[in-house]
A and B are shown apart, each in its own frame.
Chain A
Amino acid sequence: MTQEHPDTKQKEDRSSLARAELDLDKLLAASQAFLEECSDEIELPVPEEVEREHKIAEALMTEEAFEVVQFEIDSGEVPLKTESVFDKLRRWFWIPALAGALATGFLLINASEKLKEPEQLIGKGKTGQRVLPKKGVSLHLGVWNGPGVKATRLGNGDTLSSKKSVLFSFTLEKAGYLAIFLQKQKGELQVIYPFPGQTSKKWKKGFSLFEYKGRPQAYGLSKLEKSVTFIVVKTKQPLSSKQLKTYLRSNDLVSQLQTESKKRTATLSFDAMRLKLTGAE
Protein backbone atom coordinates (compact mmCIF):
# COMPACT_ATOMS: atom_id res chain seq x y z
CA MET A 1 0.00 0.00 0.00
CA THR A 2 1.24 3.42 -0.85
CA GLN A 3 1.06 6.16 1.76
CA GLU A 4 -1.24 8.97 0.71
CA HIS A 5 -0.42 12.56 1.37
CA PRO A 6 -2.46 13.78 4.42
CA ASP A 7 -3.63 16.92 2.57
CA THR A 8 -4.97 14.85 -0.30
CA LYS A 9 -6.77 12.53 2.08
CA GLN A 10 -8.31 15.48 3.97
CA LYS A 11 -9.42 17.09 0.73
CA GLU A 12 -11.01 13.87 -0.53
CA ASP A 13 -12.84 13.36 2.77
CA ARG A 14 -14.11 16.92 2.67
CA SER A 15 -15.48 16.69 -0.83
CA SER A 16 -16.92 13.25 -0.14
CA LEU A 17 -18.64 14.57 2.97
CA ALA A 18 -19.92 17.56 1.08
CA ARG A 19 -21.52 15.31 -1.52
CA ALA A 20 -22.98 12.89 1.04
CA GLU A 21 -25.11 15.67 2.47
CA LEU A 22 -26.25 16.83 -0.92
CA ASP A 23 -29.38 16.46 -2.91
CA LEU A 24 -30.22 17.74 -6.34
CA ASP A 25 -32.02 20.86 -5.16
CA LYS A 26 -29.07 21.91 -3.03
CA LEU A 27 -26.74 21.40 -5.94
CA LEU A 28 -28.91 23.44 -8.27
CA ALA A 29 -28.96 26.27 -5.76
CA ALA A 30 -25.27 26.00 -4.84
CA SER A 31 -22.69 28.68 -5.48
CA GLN A 32 -20.01 28.31 -8.12
CA ALA A 33 -17.31 28.00 -5.47
CA PHE A 34 -19.19 25.18 -3.75
CA LEU A 35 -19.81 23.32 -7.00
CA GLU A 36 -16.13 23.53 -7.87
CA GLU A 37 -15.10 22.41 -4.40
CA CYS A 38 -17.23 19.29 -4.38
CA SER A 39 -16.31 18.29 -7.90
CA ASP A 40 -12.62 19.02 -7.97
CA GLU A 41 -11.65 15.36 -8.35
CA ILE A 42 -14.18 14.63 -11.04
CA GLU A 43 -13.12 14.32 -14.64
CA LEU A 44 -15.81 14.64 -17.24
CA PRO A 45 -15.60 12.70 -20.47
CA VAL A 46 -16.44 14.72 -23.57
CA PRO A 47 -20.19 14.09 -24.16
CA GLU A 48 -19.80 13.88 -27.95
CA GLU A 49 -17.01 11.34 -27.51
CA VAL A 50 -19.15 9.16 -25.25
CA GLU A 51 -21.84 9.19 -27.91
CA ARG A 52 -19.31 8.33 -30.59
CA GLU A 53 -17.89 5.52 -28.46
CA HIS A 54 -21.33 3.93 -28.57
CA LYS A 55 -21.52 4.46 -32.30
CA ILE A 56 -18.13 2.76 -32.72
CA ALA A 57 -19.32 -0.15 -30.59
CA GLU A 58 -22.51 -0.43 -32.59
CA ALA A 59 -20.81 -0.26 -35.96
CA LEU A 60 -18.05 -2.65 -34.90
CA MET A 61 -20.27 -5.19 -33.29
CA THR A 62 -23.02 -5.13 -35.87
CA GLU A 63 -22.21 -7.95 -38.16
CA GLU A 64 -23.88 -6.12 -41.04
CA ALA A 65 -21.25 -3.42 -40.87
CA PHE A 66 -18.82 -5.83 -42.46
CA GLU A 67 -21.23 -7.69 -44.57
CA VAL A 68 -21.55 -6.75 -48.11
CA VAL A 69 -25.15 -7.41 -48.85
CA GLN A 70 -26.94 -4.50 -47.36
CA PHE A 71 -30.51 -4.66 -48.52
CA GLU A 72 -33.00 -6.22 -50.76
CA ILE A 73 -34.56 -3.94 -53.27
CA ASP A 74 -37.96 -3.77 -54.83
CA SER A 75 -36.91 -1.97 -57.96
CA GLY A 76 -33.82 -2.20 -60.12
CA GLU A 77 -32.38 0.98 -58.71
CA VAL A 78 -29.90 1.28 -55.91
CA PRO A 79 -30.23 4.54 -54.01
CA LEU A 80 -26.89 6.13 -53.31
CA LYS A 81 -26.09 9.31 -51.46
CA THR A 82 -22.37 9.44 -50.81
CA GLU A 83 -19.41 7.49 -52.01
CA SER A 84 -18.19 5.51 -49.04
CA VAL A 85 -17.01 1.95 -49.37
CA PHE A 86 -20.19 0.82 -47.77
CA ASP A 87 -22.07 2.80 -50.35
CA LYS A 88 -20.01 1.12 -52.98
CA LEU A 89 -20.75 -2.17 -51.36
CA ARG A 90 -24.36 -1.12 -51.20
CA ARG A 91 -24.29 -1.29 -54.97
CA TRP A 92 -24.37 -5.02 -54.44
CA PHE A 93 -27.81 -6.23 -53.63
CA TRP A 94 -29.71 -9.43 -53.39
CA ILE A 95 -31.99 -10.46 -56.12
CA PRO A 96 -35.25 -12.08 -55.07
CA ALA A 97 -35.09 -15.83 -55.45
CA LEU A 98 -37.38 -16.28 -58.46
CA ALA A 99 -35.85 -13.41 -60.36
CA GLY A 100 -32.46 -14.85 -59.46
CA ALA A 101 -33.43 -18.12 -61.04
CA LEU A 102 -34.55 -16.27 -64.17
CA ALA A 103 -31.28 -14.37 -64.26
CA THR A 104 -29.28 -17.55 -63.74
CA GLY A 105 -31.12 -19.32 -66.47
CA PHE A 106 -30.79 -16.45 -68.86
CA LEU A 107 -27.11 -15.94 -68.27
CA LEU A 108 -26.51 -19.65 -68.42
CA ILE A 109 -28.25 -19.89 -71.80
CA ASN A 110 -26.33 -16.91 -73.04
CA ALA A 111 -23.06 -18.21 -71.68
CA SER A 112 -23.57 -21.50 -73.48
CA GLU A 113 -24.57 -19.59 -76.64
CA LYS A 114 -21.38 -17.66 -76.37
CA LEU A 115 -19.45 -20.88 -76.21
CA LYS A 116 -21.22 -22.09 -79.36
CA GLU A 117 -20.29 -18.97 -81.25
CA PRO A 118 -17.46 -19.49 -83.71
CA GLU A 119 -14.42 -17.78 -82.27
CA GLN A 120 -11.19 -16.57 -83.74
CA LEU A 121 -8.01 -18.66 -83.72
CA ILE A 122 -9.02 -20.92 -86.56
CA GLY A 123 -5.85 -21.94 -88.32
CA LYS A 124 -5.31 -20.83 -91.89
CA GLY A 125 -6.73 -23.25 -94.37
CA LYS A 126 -8.60 -25.18 -91.70
CA THR A 127 -12.34 -25.19 -91.46
CA GLY A 128 -14.85 -26.81 -89.24
CA GLN A 129 -13.77 -27.37 -85.67
CA ARG A 130 -13.94 -24.35 -83.49
CA VAL A 131 -10.97 -23.51 -81.30
CA LEU A 132 -11.81 -21.88 -78.04
CA PRO A 133 -9.34 -19.47 -76.50
CA LYS A 134 -7.76 -21.07 -73.47
CA LYS A 135 -8.77 -18.39 -71.09
CA GLY A 136 -9.38 -20.18 -67.85
CA VAL A 137 -12.14 -17.77 -66.94
CA SER A 138 -14.88 -16.06 -68.93
CA LEU A 139 -16.84 -13.17 -67.53
CA HIS A 140 -20.49 -12.72 -68.50
CA LEU A 141 -22.48 -9.62 -67.66
CA GLY A 142 -26.20 -9.06 -67.69
CA VAL A 143 -28.52 -6.15 -66.91
CA TRP A 144 -30.78 -6.61 -63.94
CA ASN A 145 -34.25 -5.64 -65.13
CA GLY A 146 -36.10 -5.99 -61.86
CA PRO A 147 -37.83 -8.83 -60.04
CA GLY A 148 -39.54 -11.32 -62.27
CA VAL A 149 -38.05 -9.88 -65.46
CA LYS A 150 -35.39 -11.66 -67.45
CA ALA A 151 -31.92 -10.19 -67.31
CA THR A 152 -30.48 -8.85 -70.56
CA ARG A 153 -27.14 -10.16 -71.64
CA LEU A 154 -24.40 -7.59 -72.21
CA GLY A 155 -21.57 -7.80 -74.66
CA ASN A 156 -18.16 -6.20 -74.46
CA GLY A 157 -18.45 -2.48 -75.28
CA ASP A 158 -22.23 -2.37 -74.86
CA THR A 159 -23.89 0.83 -73.69
CA LEU A 160 -26.30 0.99 -70.81
CA SER A 161 -27.79 3.49 -68.41
CA SER A 162 -25.84 4.17 -65.27
CA LYS A 163 -29.14 3.81 -63.42
CA LYS A 164 -29.03 0.11 -64.17
CA SER A 165 -27.35 -2.66 -62.25
CA VAL A 166 -25.36 -5.54 -63.60
CA LEU A 167 -25.28 -9.22 -62.84
CA PHE A 168 -22.09 -11.23 -63.04
CA SER A 169 -21.54 -14.81 -63.97
CA PHE A 170 -18.43 -16.76 -64.82
CA THR A 171 -17.41 -19.85 -66.65
CA LEU A 172 -14.30 -21.39 -65.16
CA GLU A 173 -12.14 -23.94 -66.90
CA LYS A 174 -10.99 -25.21 -63.52
CA ALA A 175 -12.12 -24.39 -60.00
CA GLY A 176 -10.35 -21.41 -58.48
CA TYR A 177 -10.52 -18.16 -56.60
CA LEU A 178 -11.81 -14.93 -58.12
CA ALA A 179 -11.21 -11.24 -57.73
CA ILE A 180 -13.28 -8.64 -59.55
CA PHE A 181 -11.81 -5.22 -60.26
CA LEU A 182 -13.69 -2.22 -61.45
CA GLN A 183 -11.74 0.21 -63.58
CA LYS A 184 -13.27 3.62 -64.00
CA GLN A 185 -12.97 5.91 -67.01
CA LYS A 186 -9.92 7.66 -65.62
CA GLY A 187 -8.17 4.38 -64.89
CA GLU A 188 -8.91 4.39 -61.17
CA LEU A 189 -9.13 0.84 -59.90
CA GLN A 190 -11.27 -0.60 -57.20
CA VAL A 191 -11.70 -4.12 -55.89
CA ILE A 192 -15.35 -5.03 -55.75
CA TYR A 193 -14.80 -8.68 -54.91
CA PRO A 194 -13.59 -10.16 -52.56
CA PHE A 195 -15.47 -7.91 -50.18
CA PRO A 196 -13.45 -5.89 -47.67
CA GLY A 197 -12.02 -8.05 -44.95
CA GLN A 198 -12.92 -11.27 -46.72
CA THR A 199 -11.23 -13.61 -49.12
CA SER A 200 -12.74 -15.15 -52.18
CA LYS A 201 -14.53 -18.44 -51.83
CA LYS A 202 -13.46 -21.25 -54.14
CA TRP A 203 -15.60 -21.08 -57.27
CA LYS A 204 -16.44 -24.34 -58.93
CA LYS A 205 -15.52 -25.39 -62.44
CA GLY A 206 -18.06 -24.44 -65.12
CA PHE A 207 -20.77 -21.81 -65.01
CA SER A 208 -21.60 -19.90 -61.82
CA LEU A 209 -23.83 -16.92 -61.25
CA PHE A 210 -22.23 -14.49 -58.85
CA GLU A 211 -23.89 -15.22 -55.53
CA TYR A 212 -23.29 -14.32 -51.94
CA LYS A 213 -24.67 -16.49 -49.18
CA GLY A 214 -26.61 -18.40 -51.77
CA ARG A 215 -28.33 -15.37 -53.24
CA PRO A 216 -27.58 -13.81 -56.63
CA GLN A 217 -26.06 -10.36 -56.52
CA ALA A 218 -26.36 -7.33 -58.75
CA TYR A 219 -24.05 -4.33 -58.80
CA GLY A 220 -25.37 -0.76 -59.11
CA LEU A 221 -23.63 1.50 -61.58
CA SER A 222 -24.91 4.86 -60.35
CA LYS A 223 -22.29 7.57 -59.87
CA LEU A 224 -19.99 5.84 -62.31
CA GLU A 225 -19.14 7.89 -65.35
CA LYS A 226 -18.78 7.33 -69.08
CA SER A 227 -17.31 3.87 -69.04
CA VAL A 228 -16.33 1.10 -66.71
CA THR A 229 -14.31 -2.03 -67.17
CA PHE A 230 -14.94 -5.08 -65.06
CA ILE A 231 -11.89 -7.30 -64.79
CA VAL A 232 -12.15 -10.73 -63.27
CA VAL A 233 -8.98 -12.51 -62.21
CA LYS A 234 -8.93 -16.23 -61.46
CA THR A 235 -6.13 -17.69 -59.38
CA LYS A 236 -5.27 -21.06 -57.89
CA GLN A 237 -4.95 -19.53 -54.44
CA PRO A 238 -6.88 -16.55 -53.07
CA LEU A 239 -5.11 -13.28 -53.77
CA SER A 240 -3.51 -11.83 -50.66
CA SER A 241 -4.22 -8.24 -49.70
CA LYS A 242 -0.63 -7.46 -50.73
CA GLN A 243 -1.24 -8.84 -54.21
CA LEU A 244 -4.52 -6.96 -54.46
CA LYS A 245 -2.73 -3.76 -53.49
CA THR A 246 -0.10 -4.39 -56.16
CA TYR A 247 -2.81 -4.73 -58.76
CA LEU A 248 -4.60 -1.65 -57.49
CA ARG A 249 -1.43 0.37 -57.96
CA SER A 250 -1.12 -0.77 -61.54
CA ASN A 251 -1.44 1.86 -64.26
CA ASP A 252 -2.66 -0.65 -66.78
CA LEU A 253 -4.02 -3.71 -65.07
CA VAL A 254 -5.13 -5.48 -68.22
CA SER A 255 -1.64 -5.27 -69.75
CA GLN A 256 -0.08 -6.39 -66.49
CA LEU A 257 -2.42 -9.35 -66.29
CA GLN A 258 -1.76 -10.20 -69.92
CA THR A 259 1.97 -10.31 -69.27
CA GLU A 260 1.52 -12.38 -66.14
CA SER A 261 -0.87 -14.83 -67.73
CA LYS A 262 1.49 -15.45 -70.64
CA LYS A 263 4.28 -16.68 -68.39
CA ARG A 264 4.89 -20.40 -68.53
CA THR A 265 4.49 -20.64 -64.77
CA ALA A 266 1.34 -18.52 -64.79
CA THR A 267 -1.33 -19.61 -62.35
CA LEU A 268 -3.76 -16.84 -63.15
CA SER A 269 -6.16 -16.12 -65.91
CA PHE A 270 -8.41 -13.17 -66.45
CA ASP A 271 -11.18 -11.73 -68.51
CA ALA A 272 -12.39 -8.16 -68.88
CA MET A 273 -15.50 -6.44 -70.17
CA ARG A 274 -15.96 -2.77 -70.86
CA LEU A 275 -19.31 -1.02 -70.66
CA LYS A 276 -20.21 2.47 -71.81
CA LEU A 277 -22.52 4.34 -69.51
CA THR A 278 -25.13 6.88 -70.36
CA GLY A 279 -27.00 9.27 -68.13
CA ALA A 280 -24.10 9.51 -65.68
CA GLU A 281 -24.55 12.24 -63.11
Chain B
Amino acid sequence: MTLRELIQDIDVEKLLARCIQRTKFERESLQDALYGVIAKLLSQGSKYDNSFPNAMALEGYIQTAAIRNVIRLSKKKQQHYETNHEGEPKDPGANPEEQVVRHLELQSMRELVQRVMEQHQAPRGIHKEIRQLLELLLSSDEFFQVRQTGQSKGIVVFDIGKLSKKLRWSRYQVSHRLQHLQKAFLKENKKQ
Protein backbone atom coordinates (compact mmCIF):
# COMPACT_ATOMS: atom_id res chain seq x y z
CA MET B 1 0.00 0.00 0.00
CA THR B 2 1.21 3.47 -0.79
CA LEU B 3 1.52 6.11 1.89
CA ARG B 4 -1.37 8.02 0.36
CA GLU B 5 -3.64 4.98 0.66
CA LEU B 6 -2.59 4.43 4.25
CA ILE B 7 -3.23 8.08 5.12
CA GLN B 8 -6.78 7.76 3.78
CA ASP B 9 -7.44 5.14 6.47
CA ILE B 10 -6.37 7.37 9.33
CA ASP B 11 -8.95 8.73 11.75
CA VAL B 12 -7.41 12.09 12.59
CA GLU B 13 -9.95 12.93 15.30
CA LYS B 14 -9.22 9.71 17.15
CA LEU B 15 -5.50 10.27 16.76
CA LEU B 16 -5.84 13.80 18.06
CA ALA B 17 -7.85 12.64 21.06
CA ARG B 18 -5.15 10.07 21.82
CA CYS B 19 -2.39 12.67 21.59
CA ILE B 20 -4.31 14.99 23.94
CA GLN B 21 -4.89 12.18 26.38
CA ARG B 22 -1.22 11.14 26.32
CA THR B 23 0.29 14.59 26.65
CA LYS B 24 -2.36 17.02 27.96
CA PHE B 25 -1.01 19.53 25.45
CA GLU B 26 -3.27 22.12 23.81
CA ARG B 27 -5.63 20.74 21.21
CA GLU B 28 -4.74 23.44 18.66
CA SER B 29 -1.01 22.83 18.85
CA LEU B 30 -1.45 19.10 18.49
CA GLN B 31 -3.90 19.50 15.62
CA ASP B 32 -1.49 21.84 13.88
CA ALA B 33 1.33 19.38 14.34
CA LEU B 34 -0.73 16.38 13.20
CA TYR B 35 -1.79 18.02 9.97
CA GLY B 36 1.71 19.41 9.57
CA VAL B 37 3.22 15.95 9.80
CA ILE B 38 0.71 14.49 7.35
CA ALA B 39 1.31 17.37 4.95
CA LYS B 40 5.06 16.89 5.22
CA LEU B 41 4.73 13.17 4.53
CA LEU B 42 2.53 13.84 1.49
CA SER B 43 4.89 16.52 0.22
CA GLN B 44 7.72 13.96 0.08
CA GLY B 45 6.04 12.06 -2.77
CA SER B 46 6.77 8.34 -2.75
CA LYS B 47 9.71 8.57 -0.35
CA TYR B 48 7.77 7.00 2.52
CA ASP B 49 5.75 4.54 0.45
CA ASN B 50 7.29 1.41 1.93
CA SER B 51 8.10 2.76 5.37
CA PHE B 52 4.92 1.65 7.14
CA PRO B 53 3.46 -1.84 7.00
CA ASN B 54 -0.08 -0.71 7.92
CA ALA B 55 -2.23 2.23 8.97
CA MET B 56 -1.66 1.48 12.65
CA ALA B 57 2.11 1.75 12.28
CA LEU B 58 1.65 4.99 10.39
CA GLU B 59 -0.67 6.36 13.10
CA GLY B 60 1.93 5.56 15.75
CA TYR B 61 4.57 7.32 13.75
CA ILE B 62 2.40 10.40 13.09
CA GLN B 63 1.53 10.58 16.78
CA THR B 64 5.18 10.49 17.83
CA ALA B 65 6.25 12.93 15.12
CA ALA B 66 3.44 15.35 15.98
CA ILE B 67 4.13 15.36 19.72
CA ARG B 68 7.86 15.79 19.20
CA ASN B 69 7.17 18.69 16.84
CA VAL B 70 4.87 20.38 19.36
CA ILE B 71 7.64 20.21 21.96
CA ARG B 72 10.31 21.35 19.53
CA LEU B 73 8.22 24.30 18.34
CA SER B 74 7.19 25.25 21.86
CA LYS B 75 10.85 25.36 22.82
CA LYS B 76 11.54 27.46 19.77
CA LYS B 77 8.77 29.85 20.74
CA GLN B 78 9.89 29.74 24.36
CA GLN B 79 6.50 28.51 25.45
CA HIS B 80 6.18 26.53 28.60
CA TYR B 81 3.58 23.90 28.86
CA GLU B 82 1.98 23.27 32.19
CA THR B 83 2.89 19.65 31.72
CA ASN B 84 6.60 20.04 31.67
CA HIS B 85 7.71 17.36 29.26
CA GLU B 86 10.96 16.83 31.14
CA GLY B 87 8.97 15.40 33.99
CA GLU B 88 6.34 13.63 31.92
CA PRO B 89 5.00 11.05 31.69
CA LYS B 90 3.96 10.05 35.17
CA ASP B 91 2.38 6.67 35.10
CA PRO B 92 3.32 4.65 38.14
CA GLY B 93 1.40 1.65 36.83
CA ALA B 94 3.42 1.44 33.64
CA ASN B 95 6.22 -1.07 33.37
CA PRO B 96 9.76 0.25 32.68
CA GLU B 97 9.47 -0.37 28.96
CA GLU B 98 6.15 1.46 28.69
CA GLN B 99 7.64 4.37 30.61
CA VAL B 100 10.58 4.63 28.23
CA VAL B 101 8.27 4.32 25.23
CA ARG B 102 6.18 7.16 26.61
CA HIS B 103 9.32 9.24 26.96
CA LEU B 104 10.08 8.44 23.34
CA GLU B 105 6.81 9.97 22.25
CA LEU B 106 8.13 13.23 23.61
CA GLN B 107 11.69 13.15 22.45
CA SER B 108 14.03 11.13 20.31
CA MET B 109 16.14 8.37 21.79
CA ARG B 110 19.23 10.53 21.20
CA GLU B 111 17.77 13.36 23.29
CA LEU B 112 16.49 10.97 25.91
CA VAL B 113 19.82 9.20 26.29
CA GLN B 114 21.64 12.53 26.41
CA ARG B 115 19.38 13.72 29.21
CA VAL B 116 19.45 10.49 31.14
CA MET B 117 23.22 10.19 30.92
CA GLU B 118 23.70 13.80 32.01
CA GLN B 119 21.42 13.29 34.98
CA HIS B 120 23.12 10.02 35.74
CA GLN B 121 26.45 11.87 35.67
CA ALA B 122 28.09 9.24 33.53
CA PRO B 123 31.81 9.79 33.00
CA ARG B 124 32.60 11.48 29.71
CA GLY B 125 34.25 8.39 28.24
CA ILE B 126 31.27 6.16 28.97
CA HIS B 127 28.89 8.82 27.73
CA LYS B 128 30.78 8.98 24.45
CA GLU B 129 30.80 5.22 24.07
CA ILE B 130 27.09 4.97 24.80
CA ARG B 131 26.38 7.58 22.15
CA GLN B 132 28.52 5.63 19.69
CA LEU B 133 26.65 2.46 20.58
CA LEU B 134 23.30 4.20 20.25
CA GLU B 135 24.13 5.56 16.79
CA LEU B 136 24.99 2.06 15.68
CA LEU B 137 21.78 0.63 17.10
CA LEU B 138 19.75 3.32 15.37
CA SER B 139 21.48 2.71 12.07
CA SER B 140 20.36 -0.84 11.33
CA ASP B 141 18.05 -3.65 12.32
CA GLU B 142 20.87 -6.16 12.13
CA PHE B 143 21.85 -5.45 15.72
CA PHE B 144 18.59 -6.80 17.10
CA GLN B 145 17.26 -10.28 17.31
CA VAL B 146 13.83 -11.56 18.11
CA ARG B 147 13.77 -14.67 20.24
CA GLN B 148 12.25 -17.46 18.19
CA THR B 149 11.74 -20.04 20.89
CA GLY B 150 11.36 -20.58 24.60
CA GLN B 151 9.85 -18.57 27.39
CA SER B 152 11.17 -15.33 25.93
CA LYS B 153 9.75 -16.00 22.46
CA GLY B 154 9.07 -12.77 20.63
CA ILE B 155 11.27 -10.67 22.86
CA VAL B 156 13.68 -8.30 21.16
CA VAL B 157 17.26 -8.57 22.35
CA PHE B 158 20.52 -7.00 21.28
CA ASP B 159 22.93 -8.91 19.09
CA ILE B 160 25.96 -8.23 21.22
CA GLY B 161 28.17 -10.30 18.95
CA LYS B 162 27.49 -8.12 15.92
CA LEU B 163 27.71 -4.95 17.98
CA SER B 164 31.06 -5.89 19.42
CA LYS B 165 32.39 -6.84 16.00
CA LYS B 166 31.28 -3.58 14.46
CA LEU B 167 32.48 -1.42 17.33
CA ARG B 168 35.60 -3.49 17.85
CA TRP B 169 34.83 -3.67 21.52
CA SER B 170 34.77 -6.76 23.64
CA ARG B 171 31.39 -8.30 24.21
CA TYR B 172 31.77 -7.48 27.85
CA GLN B 173 32.24 -3.83 27.05
CA VAL B 174 29.12 -3.74 24.86
CA SER B 175 27.14 -5.56 27.48
CA HIS B 176 28.37 -3.29 30.26
CA ARG B 177 27.60 -0.11 28.35
CA LEU B 178 24.10 -1.37 27.61
CA GLN B 179 23.66 -2.28 31.20
CA HIS B 180 24.89 1.16 32.24
CA LEU B 181 22.23 2.66 30.00
CA GLN B 182 19.61 0.28 31.35
CA LYS B 183 20.44 1.25 34.92
CA ALA B 184 20.28 4.95 34.03
CA PHE B 185 16.83 4.45 32.50
CA LEU B 186 15.57 2.45 35.44
CA LYS B 187 16.85 5.09 37.83
CA GLU B 188 15.16 7.74 35.73
CA ASN B 189 11.89 5.79 35.76
CA LYS B 190 12.04 5.45 39.52
CA LYS B 191 12.43 9.19 39.92
CA GLN B 192 9.26 9.83 37.95
Contact = CB atoms under 8 A, between A and B. Distances in A.
Interface stretch (A143-151, A155-163, A165-173, A241-249): A241-249
B7 interface: yes
B101 A57 contact: yes
Which size bracket describes the interface of B in this complex? 35 or more
Nearest to B137: A56
Contact of B28 (A20, A66, A241, A244): A20
B160 A196 contact: yes
Contacts of B84: none
Contacts, number: 203
Main SS class of interface, B: helix
B19 interface: no
B144 A59 contact: yes
B150 A71 contact: yes
Interface stretch (A83-91, A109-117, A132-140, A203-211): A83-91
B156 to A, nearest CB: 5
Interface string A67-97: 0001111000001011111111000000000
Contact of B144 (A28, A55, A85): A55
Nearest to A1: B78
B159 A82 contact: yes
Contacts of A59: 144, 155-158
Nearest to A32: B43
A62 B157 contact: yes
Interface in A156-196: 191, 196
Interface stretch (A41-49, A214-222, A227-235): A41-49
Nearest to B37: A42
B178 interface: yes
A197 B182 CA distance: 11
Nearest to A49: B138
Nearest to A60: B182
B117 interface: no
A39 B155 contact: no
14 contacts: A19-B32, A24-B8, A27-B35, A27-B39, A39-B36, A41-B36, A44-B65, A47-B51, A58-B156, A59-B156, A61-B96, A71-B147, A82-B145, A245-B170
Interface of A: 1-2, 4, 12, 15-16, 19-20, 22-24, 27-28, 30, 32, 35-36, 38-39, 41-45, 47-50, 52-62, 64-66, 70-73, 79, 81-88, 191, 196-197, 241, 244-245, 248
Interface of B: 4, 7-8, 10, 12, 28, 31-33, 35-44, 48, 51-52, 61, 64-65, 68-69, 72-73, 77-78, 95-97, 99-101, 104, 108-109, 134, 137-138, 141, 144-145, 147-153, 155-162, 164, 170-172, 174-176, 178-179, 181-182, 185-186
Given A55-B156, A61-B99, A196-B179, 8 more contacts: A28-B8, A39-B36, A42-B37, A44-B65, A53-B104, A61-B186, A86-B157, A196-B172
